[in-house]
Structure 1
Amino acid sequence: MMEKDVNLNGNANGIGLPALVATVVTSSIGSGIFALTSDLAHAASPGPALIAWLIVGVGILMLSLSLNNLVMKRPDLEGVFAYAEAGFGQYAGFISGWGYWLSAWLGNVAFATVMMSSIGYFFPIFKSGQNLPSILAASIASWALTYIVNQGVESAAILNAIVTICKLIPLFTFIVVAIILFKGNLFTSMFWNNLSGHFDGGQGVGTQIKNCMMVMMWVFVGIEGAAMMSSRAKKKSDAGRATILGLLCLLLIYVLASVLPYGYLTRGELATIHQPAMVYIFNDMVGNWGGIFISIGLIISILGSWLSWTMLPAETMRLMTNRKLLPPIFGRENKHRAPTFSLVLTAVLIQLFLFTLLFTEKAYNFAYSLCTAAIVICYIFVAAYQIKLSWQHIHEKGSFKQLVIGLIAFLFQVVGITLAGLQYVLLCFIAYIPGIFFYAKARKDAGATQWLSKSEWAMTSLIALGAIVSVVLLVVGKISV
């Protein structure tokens, strides 16, 4: 029989349901929603964009339902990567966990870039988001958030819930004003039509839908936040409920915020507006105070997401260390139960990556594309374990439905990343190389007779090959950064 939802009250002082829902919403709503309209207008007309939202919404819903089912059926597993390990072995657990860790801190780089652009609305020196003053200011913010989380994860999650409330106010204000100013004839005038030129080159509906996929998948990164923090929850079952509730809130906010502006400005105007797009759209709607209002909301929003995503990579390393997938030092905790070494290591890597933005043309797009590609690896393992667990218990009530849910989630993630960003997956393979060394050392220290098994060596060879291919593609210009 499947394991039941036991030990649901094992952490009386842990995080409650409201704070977990806030973690899901805040982890997902960061910089992406404020740039979403312009990115979508560049990719598609409103009709194809709505179809893409339907596809992505269903795919993410199936992933969320899979997470909910796995949290309930396997409450003994801590961390999203644990599903890969339980279903496919320790090496798969490492691959999933390392991808999750990569995604979390790469997302922080994206947050840093767009936050400085937002501050640039008030102080032009920061407007580009990737000059030296911007990088220095972002570095200070990164280290400050690292210090906050190092004082205790649970207290940081409570602060995160407060930030969620504060940052949703400008989003709801924007949506209400956009509804009032919505022009139906403008919205329908080019509902399906292609817009020739440098936006989509007159591409068909299918290509426009494909063009939407990466940015839409990016704004849902973080939906697993409650499951990732399940070991800190008052009740394990709350993590699953929080995932579903968080997704429903996100879908409503994303669709309204990204599609309503098609009824206020033309697609051409939206596609060429300055980023962050929502700041300048609302400025056009209500005047200068609107730009100020949304900019402040955006800064608060990013700080909230940045806080969540400072917690998540450190928590991932702690849990991986507990499972002996990384050496013990990665999980060493201070008196506040915060993994200090992992927090500092992650902050150092963010710092190094921030300085590389001086040489990158589209820093924000590059960072969020890498972030999305890395976490999709983890999501694929979640869906695969959902399939395996459901198949093993196919004769039990509800298992067939869960099997279908897992299959849809798996296909969505594989097809989505293949169509929208396979080259970014190859780039992520470069970052797996040092991680594999740490994994092998941890296994050896745990008493394994060899550094890697034959099958693990085979997978490592494929990862190394993918890394080499990505470097070649970078050199010949097939991948731009």
Structure 2
Amino acid sequence: MEEKVNKNGIGLVGLTALIVSSSIGTGIFGITSSIAQSAAPGPAILSWLLVGFGFLMLVLSLNNLTEKRSDLKGGIFAYAGAGYGPLGEFISGWAYWLSAWLGNLAFATMLMSAIGTFVPVFKGGSNLPSIIVAIIFCWALTFLVNNGVESASFINTIGTFCKVVPLIMFVIICIVSFKGGMFTTDFWGRVANNLSKGTTTGGLWTQMKGTLMTLIWVFIGVEGASVMGSRAKSLKEAQQATMLGFVLLLVFYMLISILPYGSLTRAQLAGASQPALGSDLKMIVGDWGAMIINIGLIISTIVSWLSWTMLPAETMLLIAEDGAAPKFWGKLNSKKAPTNSLFTTAVLQTIFLFSLLFTDKAYEFCYTLASSAILFSYLFVGLYQMKFSRERKEWGQWTYGLLAALFQFLCMILAGWQYVLVVSLSYIPGLIVYYQGVHEQGRKLNKNEKITFVVIALLCVLSIVLIANKTIDIM
């Protein structure tokens, strides 16, 4: 059957830019320090290969499902609905929505911190002036997207090209200053001495595990073309954009995070102040390098924030259209933008931005929680890929789904179990929203839905207990 083409939709370049821009945000500018604290060059390379393999399985699963379930407009959360009913779709979609706007809070903190290098009143990124300006940014981007998603995508495409320039410059400088002897010194991180202050020594797996949530954080957004697939010119271009975006990101991330080990010692990288890339260049070439990186960070954060304003709103719109959330979330304005979803999300972001005044770990908490939340959505993709492929007896595709699901589950257990429990707390208001949708449809909760409600409630109680006794530290 001939593929339908939406002439007014987002094309291959726009979708690829959306994926790259959604993923290359604040995380890449701090990645050298975060990775160096946990891993030496050897374990860091193996971590990238592990995470790259896990996300490759996710991308292959997404492309297969995008092609064979083109009737599902809702992207990754619609797959959860097709396999596990409306509540499955809501759980996946709610996690995706939560991850996106929590990521925006992380963007706000890093953005104001970068601006603080030029305007001292914003230094630190989490004081009252910073919060007020961040709220202004939040609402400005909300009104922009509310004026039309496709036009916002055009701005995003332009911004993507602008923000990668300082990152390319960083890679070139690291290549020119690369020293093989420095790179191979303590390649596996087994030497513990007074020169390795601020870094972790230990076994290979211990070092790799310490990097997982950081690497997942910088990969969030790789599924962007799938989520925006209903607005693409064609499904084929959505598939191509997903794979192209993934390959570009993996190569770029590995170059930026691994090459500096050949220009600076691991201790220097681990001890660098944020944004780490600016501190790295300051040590290599001087102050001008840090200034360029900070300008790039400001542009990167604003453009990524734009992308992540689009994605959560689109999420709630699509699950509402599928009947897994109240119709309120699916209301469109004259520009075909999900007005209620956009403005409800903006209100929540505004409220939570003020909470950054009361924690000294705002950025780390927000991005770790965002990474943990997205694991639910990614896990459902792997599980549905397995179920769908088993029904069609496509065992190669079933294997992709199995490996994708195992990778996400591994990350949940080994790297983020504390924050996975914290995410469960967000499902208390979420389940109220879901129940409103059930009531709106004139039906009652079925047995499986009631059991799921009880399980989530128990996880919430466990999370509260662990937070109370400081087993989970969120401050």
TM-score (norm 2): 0.97
Question: 1:198, 1:282 → 2: CA distance?
Answer: 20
CA separation of 1:307/1:39 partners in 2, compared to 1, >3 Å: closer, same or farther? same
Is 1:195–1:201's contact at 8 Å kept on the other side of the alignment? no
CA separation of 1:471/1:104 partners in 2, compared to 1, >3 Å: closer, same or farther? same
Question: 2:171, 2:158 → 1: CA distance?
Answer: 21
Per-residue Cα deviation, 1:267-325 (whole angstroms, up to 9, x for no partner): 11111110110011112222222111111111111111100000011111111111111
Aligned to 1:436: 431
Q: CA deviation at 1:472?
A: 1.2
Q: CA deviation at 1:447?
A: 2.5
SS at 1:89 equivalent? helix
CA separation of 1:93/1:15 partners in 2, compared to 1, >3 Å: closer, same or farther? same
Q: CA deviation at 1:410?
A: 0.8
1:381 and 2:380 aligned? yes
Aligned to 2:442: 447
Q: CA deviation at 1:7?
A: 4.3
Is 1:314–1:339's contact at 8 Å kept on the other side of the alignment? yes
* One-letter amino acid of the counterpart of residue 389, structure 2: S
Per-residue Cα deviation, 1:170-219 (whole angstroms, up to 9, x for no partner): 11111011100011111111111236476455322110000010100111
CA separation of 1:361/1:98 partners in 2, compared to 1, >3 Å: closer, same or farther? same
Instruction: Select 1:474's aligned residue among 463, 467, 475.
Output: 467
Question: 1:420, 1:198 → 2: CA distance?
Answer: 23
Question: 1:199, 1:63 → 2: CA distance?
Answer: 34
Aligned to 2:57: 62
* One-letter amino acid of the counterpart of residue 166, structure 1: C
Aligned to 1:141: 137
Is 1:8–1:237's contact at 8 Å kept on the other side of the alignment? no
Aligned structure 1 segments of 4 or more residues deviating by more than 6 angstroms? none
Within 5 Å, give how 1:41-60 maps onto structure 2: 41-60=36-55
Is 2:369–2:420's contact at 8 Å kept on the other side of the alignment? yes
1:150 and 2:114 aligned? no
Instruction: Select 2:125's aligned residue among 124, 129, 132.
Output: 129
May I ask how many residue pairs the two structures share in their alignment? Answer: 470
1:87 and 2:83 aligned? yes
CA separation of 1:263/1:461 partners in 2, compared to 1, >3 Å: closer, same or farther? same
1:457 and 2:453 aligned? no
SS at 1:478 equivalent? coil
Question: 1:201, 1:162 → 2: CA distance?
Answer: 40
SS at 2:7 equivalent? coil
Aligned to 2:106: 110
* One-letter amino acid of the counterpart of residue 339, structure 1: P
Is 2:199–2:267's contact at 8 Å kept on the other side of the alignment? no
Is 1:200–1:208's contact at 8 Å kept on the other side of the alignment? no
Question: 1:8, 1:254 → 2: CA distance?
Answer: 35
Question: 1:460, 1:275 → 2: CA distance?
Answer: 41
* One-letter amino acid of the counterpart of residue 37, structure 1: T
Question: 1:412, 1:210 → 2: CA distance?
Answer: 12
Is 2:313–2:341's contact at 8 Å kept on the other side of the alignment? yes
SS at 1:97 equivalent? helix
Aligned-pair identity (%): 51
Question: 2:298, 2:217 → 1: CA distance?
Answer: 19
Aligned to 2:350: 351
Unaligned stretches of 5+ in structure 2? none
Aligned to 1:332: 331
CA separation of 1:403/1:167 partners in 2, compared to 1, >3 Å: closer, same or farther? same
Within 5 Å, give how 1:205-224 maps onto structure 2: 205-224=204-223
Instruction: Select 2:15's aligned residue among 20, 28, 32.
Output: 20
Within 5 Å, give how 1:80-479 maps onto structure 2: 80-194=76-190, 196=192, 199-394=198-393, 399-448=394-443, 450=444, 452-479=445-472
SS at 2:221 equivalent? coil
Is 2:25–2:300's contact at 8 Å kept on the other side of the alignment? yes
Per-residue Cα deviation, 1:35-86 (whole angstroms, up to 9, x for no partner): 0000001111111111100100000011011111110111111122000000
Q: CA deviation at 1:404?
A: 1.2
SS at 1:303 equivalent? helix
Is 1:120–1:128's contact at 8 Å kept on the other side of the alignment? yes
Is 2:65–2:385's contact at 8 Å kept on the other side of the alignment? yes
TM-score (norm 1): 0.96
Per-residue Cα deviation, 1:132-165 (whole angstroms, up to 9, x for no partner): 1211111111111111101000100111111111
Q: CA deviation at 1:124?
A: 2.5
Q: CA deviation at 1:6?
A: 5.6
SS at 2:201 equivalent? coil
Moved more, 215-224 or 438-447: 438-447
Question: 1:148, 1:289 → 2: CA distance?
Answer: 33
Is 1:12–1:234's contact at 8 Å kept on the other side of the alignment? yes
Moved more, 399-408 or 96-105: 399-408
Moved more, 279-288 or 403-412: 279-288
* One-letter amino acid of the counterpart of residue 327, structure 2: P
Instruction: Select 1:71's aligned residue among 66, 69, 79.
Output: 66
Is 2:39–2:200's contact at 8 Å kept on the other side of the alignment? no
Q: CA deviation at 1:444?
A: 1.9
Unaligned stretches of 5+ in structure 1? none
Q: CA deviation at 1:361?
A: 2.0
* One-letter amino acid of the counterpart of residue 327, structure 1: P
Is 1:44–1:212's contact at 8 Å kept on the other side of the alignment? yes
